[in-house]
Amino acid sequence: MRDFPTSEARLRGFREALRGWFLRERRDMPWRRERSVYRTVVSEFMLQQTQVDTVRPYFENWVAKWPDFATLAAADEADVLRAWEGLGYYSRARNLHALAKEIAARGGAVPADADGWRAFRGVGAYTAAAIASIAQGVPAAVTDGNVVRILARLSADETEFRDGGAAVKRFAPEAEKLLDPARPGDHNEAMMELGATMCTKRNPRCLLCPVAAFCDGRALGEGVAALPRFAARATKKVDVERAFARFADGSVLLAKPHASARRLRELFELPLWSDVFPDASPRAADLLLEGKRGIASESIRERIYAGAPPKDFAEKKTLSGAALFRVPAGELEKITLSGPHRKWLRAIRGR
């Protein structure tokens, strides 16, 4: 592949075109209105694997409730998880909480560079570079899927990568070369913005793109949308059966997964059918809801069946190691549920 860009003059031209466009066109986001290290850290944790529009209300609610590291550090974990509910990947909330506690314990002192941020659990190379560059002006380039896509297209790189990690490894040095050392935060945000609004996965808007003059991929016409190339990945199909068992007083059986499922610790979910009714299969006629979701390389189909709650129910450990609880109707909106379980529970109870 060709290295990009090929001369100092082109490099300067690229940075100026990108930043000029970004300053004119950037989208309004709550974390851009007022900058601080804390607000940048919170937004970057929330934006890991989650869309900007989903994050907006969570971010505003979060910083109103806990405006700095000290207040977040003093918060109860249950409150922290509750404020995160619906964003998914709860380990991010726990890691953010732990980070705030550590910074509070250091009297508010924060790391001075990307390597320092990486020492915190849950902060990878991308998040560390984003925090250090955006909030602290440290010259560290971000390389994520957006940046990889832009760089593969700018350089018309037709390599087939094994996976995203291999592509990030390939393009991280290019991203560092491209970085504007005088304004690393603007540059990184501009790259993310370009990837989100112009150089999008399926329909790159090359005619409007501010760096089109620097892009070799344009010569491929519509074919540029196929870059970067990735080897096809096999998806594993998984079927899960769950139970919705409601008592006469409206209380519902819910489970907390086995303690080894760290990611789900302290979160409730609809129990596995086999945990509630180990000796009976669900009947097709009792199907209440079917949900599909993808996690990593798994395509999961979850079916939720109605079942009469056991008469002599007592809170207990189950076959899978999960713990079953009878949660009173009045508590159902207060507890924290994992992933899509809140949506499912509301849909079933509202029937």
Smallest separation (angstroms) from ligand SF4 to the CB of 170: 17
218 binds ligand SF4 (CB under 6 A): yes
* Among residues 123, 130, 140, 209, the one that binds ligand SF4 under rule CB under 6 A: 209
Q: 176 an active-site residue?
A: no
Q: Which pair of structure tokens corresponds to residue 157? A: 């790189």
Residue 243: which of 306, 325, 176, 317 has the closest Cα?
306
Q: Is the dihedral of CA 3, 129, 126, 60 positive or negative?
A: negative
* Among residues 72, 130, 135, 206, the one that binds ligand SF4 under rule CB under 6 A: 206
* Among residues 5, 111, 184, 204, the one that binds ligand SF4 under rule CB under 6 A: 204
Smallest separation (angstroms) from ligand SF4 to the CB of 143: 15
CA angle 238, 240, 244 (to 5 degrees): 165
345 binds ligand SF4 (CB under 6 A): no
Pairing of strands 298-306, 236-244: parallel
228 binds ligand SF4 (CB under 6 A): no
Residues between 139 and 178 that touch ligand SF4 (CB under 6 A): 150, 153-154
Give the dihedral of Cα atoms 143, 149, 150, 152; nearest 10 deg. 100
Q: Which residues pair with 254 in a beta bridge?
A: 325
Q: Exactly one of 16, 25, 34, 44 is catalytic; which is it? A: 44
Smallest separation (angstroms) from ligand SF4 to the CB of 105: 44
C-alpha 342/C-alpha 38 separation (Å) is: 29
Beta-carbon contacts of 198 under 8 Å, excluding residues fewer than 6 positions away, are 204, 205, 208, 209, 210
Nearer to ligand SF4, 210 or 307 (CB): 210
Nearer to ligand SF4, 201 or 346 (CB): 201
Part of the chain binding ligand SF4 (CB under 6 A), chosen from 97-105, 179-187, 213-221, 325-333:
213-221
Q: What residue type is assigned to position 210 of the chain?
A: P
Smallest separation (angstroms) from ligand SF4 to the CB of 184: 20
212 binds ligand SF4 (CB under 6 A): yes
Q: For the residues of 47-110, what is the DSSP string, one character each?
A: HTTS-HHHHHHHHHHHHHH--SHHHHHTS-HHHHHHHHTTS--THHHHHHHHHHHHHHHTTT--
5 binds ligand SF4 (CB under 6 A): no
258 binds ligand SF4 (CB under 6 A): no
Catalytic site positions? 44
| Binding residues for ligand SF4 (CB under 6 A) | 150, 153-154, 198-199, 204-206, 209, 211-212, 215, 217-218, 224
